[in-house]
């Protein structure tokens, strides 16, 4: 095995640092097709833990999982004008199958509003069929010109929720409920503080009436859109004839929503918490919460150390802790320590001959470097001590990420203030929401509209307030930042 090599420092090249960490922590690798990725077991287990945390929340709010086809008729995509215009540059199209040219080209799903809308039109006949709450775990393809592992890939994994409702009020409530679900997952599982907000018309999903998002700040202060929830109004219902008979026996169009989180959340975890030594993973989503490293010199020591290690491992497994025992031969303890530090395991336990004699273990926290993060823990009551330690790490990581973000959120009174902030944080300004203004800001500062934060906007179109940049009537207050 090759020696552990350090990652490129964040301060030297943040983009290179990110790629180094993803590859050296064994999360993913590039695929033979440009823009695609191979998710390795450690990276996939991280995604699985995020997926499970979301799936539990979806089912608790009444949603059920289903699966829809990967191939979608081109005519479906073309039915909704704004939808096809928005996705046209990203489509992968199948024109031949079984050695013959197809009568109609098939699109590899970029998203499933169209094919699910088609199914909903068959499934929904009466108000008694509503609400219909469906989620799909799947892969999608959107041709990517500037790929980056997890953050932007041509094929990626995600979930897409699709729901239909009898009233506008119910559909709007669903849209915001799922935004809250995403925020809850990001904060409480991934230890990433997020800002919930409304996207501007230019940034909304193609075909939606309104789009909402959770926006997270990464370690270089850039923003990452980490989940989206869309109020589709009746746009897709009218295109795909999703109608129902109401209680008065009259035909009505349903109101629909869609919402999604993808594997880019894995990239968000890397960038929100990682440091120059590699990954730092929140315990609740870490593939391994604890790694035990046995240390020995003689064969006699090895037998005693391994016997005690298994005792410790069993005790922690029985308590539900995700653990791994590093039994690799021919590698120094120092190499192993660095390796698991790179992989971001929250707690490392060292067990040597002295620990066996003392019936204890030496613990080291990934989030607290050096001696400050180490402590001796007795075998008796170890499972409780580890559980408390993991909870402490989880809350400490959220606290640190929140402090980092909050110190870099700025209210900007002028456009010049915004220009000074971009690159060092996010600027909150009164914003008109027009494409012309956003294009100007992007051209002059490279910053884009992230969202109109819900907490900072009690009302829209405040009377007498002007856009900080162009002077037009303001729609509300919006955050601008560099973004992935």
* Domain end position, chosen among 209, 244, 273: 273
Lookup result for tokens 């018309």: 201
Percent of the chain with pLDDT over 90: 93
Mean pLDDT, range 352-366, rounded to an integer = 97
Residue 8 lies in a domain: no
**Stated pTM of the model:** 0.95
Residue 71 lies in a domain: yes
Q: Own/partner pairs for 77-83, CB < 8 Å, 24+ apart?
A: 77/107, 77/114, 79/114, 79/239, 79/240, 80/113, 80/114, 80/207, 80/235, 80/236, 80/239, 82/206, 82/207, 82/235, 83/113, 83/114, 83/206, 83/207, 83/236
263 and 349 together in one domain: no
| Spatial CA neighbour of 30 closest among 41, 18, 19 | 19
Q: How confident is the model at residue 84 (pLDDT cuts 50, 70, 90)?
A: low
For residue range 240-293, list pLDDT tens digits in order.
999 999 999 999 999 999 999 999 999 999 999 999 999 999 999 999 999 999
Mean pLDDT (the chain, rounded): 96
pLDDT at 3: 46
325 and 427 together in one domain: no
Do 267 and 23 meet the contact criterion of CB atoms below 8 Å apart?
Answer: no
pLDDT at 477: 98
Residue 144 lies in a domain: yes
Count of other CB atoms within 10 angstroms of residue 29: 13
| Spatial CA neighbour of 206 closest among 85, 301, 96, 317 | 85
CATH code of 178's domain:
3.30.930.10
100 and 165 together in one domain: yes
Chain centroid to CA 307: 40
Residue 353 lies in a domain: yes
302 and 269 together in one domain: no
Q: Answer yes or no: is pLDDT of 4 > 60.
A: no
CATH code of 315's domain:
3.40.50.800
Q: Answer yes or no: is pLDDT of 454 > 80.
A: yes
348 and 462 together in one domain: no
pLDDT at 350: 97
CATH code of 431's domain:
3.30.110.30
Residue 314 lies in a domain: yes
pLDDT at 140: 96
185 and 298 together in one domain: no
259 and 294 together in one domain: no
267 and 295 together in one domain: no
Backbone angles phi, psi at 243, to 5 degrees: -120, 160
Q: How confident is the model at residue 1 (pLDDT cuts 50, 70, 90)?
A: very low
For residue range 137-158, list pLDDT tens digits in order.
999 999 998 999 999 999 999 9
Burial class (CB in 10 A: 0-12, 13-18, 19+), 152: middle
204 and 335 together in one domain: no
Q: How confident is the model at residue 89 (pLDDT cuts 50, 70, 90)?
A: confident
For residue range 388-426, list pLDDT tens digits in order.
999 999 999 999 999 999 999 999 999 999 999 998 999
Sign (positive or negative) of CA dihedral 279, 283, 287, 288: positive
Q: For 54-89, give one letter per residue: b (16+ CB within 10 A) or e.
A: bbebbeeeebeeeebebebbbebbebbeebbebbee
202 and 320 together in one domain: no
* Domain end position, chosen among 334, 354, 389: 389
| Pairing, β 409-411 against β 426-431 | parallel
Mean pLDDT, range 62-90, rounded to an integer = 87
Domain that holds residue 472: 409-481
130 and 87 together in one domain: yes
Residue 6 lies in a domain: no
Mean pLDDT, range 183-188, rounded to an integer = 98
Q: Answer yes or no: is pLDDT of 87 > 80.
A: no
Backbone angles phi, psi at 115, to 5 degrees: -70, -35
pLDDT at 141: 96
Provide the domain count of the chain: 3
pLDDT at 81: 66
157 and 296 together in one domain: no
Q: How far apart are the first and last CA of the chain?
A: 34
| Spatial CA neighbour of 224 closest among 460, 18, 56 | 18
Residue 7 lies in a domain: no
Structure tokens at 244: 């129902």
């Amino acid at each position: 095995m090759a020696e552990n090599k350090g990652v490129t420092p964040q301060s030297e090249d943040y983009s290179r640092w990110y790629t180094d960490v993803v590859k050296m922590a064994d999360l993913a690798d590039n695929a033979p097709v440009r823009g695609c990725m191979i998710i390795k077991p450690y990276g996939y287990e991280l995604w699985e833990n995020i997926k499970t945390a979301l799936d539990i929340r979806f089912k608790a709010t009444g949603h059920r999982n289903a699966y829809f086809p990967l191939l979608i008729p081109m005519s479906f995509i073309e039915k909704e004008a704004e939808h096809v215009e928005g996705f046209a540059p990203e489509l992968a199209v199948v024109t031949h199958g079984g050695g013959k040219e197809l009568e109609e080209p098939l699109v590899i799903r970029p998203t499933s509003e169209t094919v699910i809308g088609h199914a909903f039109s068959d499934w929904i006949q009466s108000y008694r069929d509503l609400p219909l709450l469906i989620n799909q775990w799947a892969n999608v393809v959107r041709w990517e010109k500037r790929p980056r592992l997890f953050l932007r890939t041509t094929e990626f994994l995600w979930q897409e929720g699709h729901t239909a409702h009898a009233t506008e009020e119910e559909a709007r409530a669903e849209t915001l409920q799922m935004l809250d679900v995403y925020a809850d997952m990001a904060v409480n599982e991934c230890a990433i503080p997020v800002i919930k907000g409304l996207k501007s018309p230019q940034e909304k999903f193609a075909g939606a009436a309104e789009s909402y998002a959770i926006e997270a700040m990464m370690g270089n202060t850039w923003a990452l859109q980490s989940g989206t929830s869309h109020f589709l109004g009746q746009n897709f219902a009218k295109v795909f004839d999703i109608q129902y008979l109401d209680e008065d026996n009259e035909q009505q169009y349903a109101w629909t929503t869609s919402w999604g989180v993808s594997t880019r959340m894995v990239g968000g975890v890397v960038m929100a918490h990682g440091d120059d030594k590699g990954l730092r993973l929140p315990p609740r989503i870490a593939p391994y919460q604890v790694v035990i490293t046995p240390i020995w010199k003689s064969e006699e020591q090895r037998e005693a150390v391994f016997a005690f290690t298994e005792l410790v491992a069993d005790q922690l497994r029985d308590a539900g802790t995700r653990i791994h025992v590093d039994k690799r031969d021919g590698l120094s303890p120092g190499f192993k320590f660095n390796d698991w530090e790179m992989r971001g395991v929250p707690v490392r336990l060292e067990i040597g001959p002295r620990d066996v004699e003392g019936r204890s273990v030496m613990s080291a926290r990934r989030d607290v470097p050096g001696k400050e993060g180490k402590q001796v823990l007795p075998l008796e009551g170890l499972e409780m001590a580890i559980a408390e330690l993991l909870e402490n790490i989880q809350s400490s990581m959220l606290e640190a990420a929140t402090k980092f973000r909050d110190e870099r959120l700025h209210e900007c009174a002028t456009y010049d203030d915004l220009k000074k902030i971009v690159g060092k944080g996010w600027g909150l300004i009164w914003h008109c929401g027009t494409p012309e203004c956003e294009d100007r800001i992007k051209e002059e500062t490279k910053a884009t509209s992230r969202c109109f934060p819900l907490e900072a906007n009690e009302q829209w179109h405040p009377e007498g307030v002007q856009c900080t940049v162009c002077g037009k009537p303001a729609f509300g207050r919006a955050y601008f930042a560099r973004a992935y």
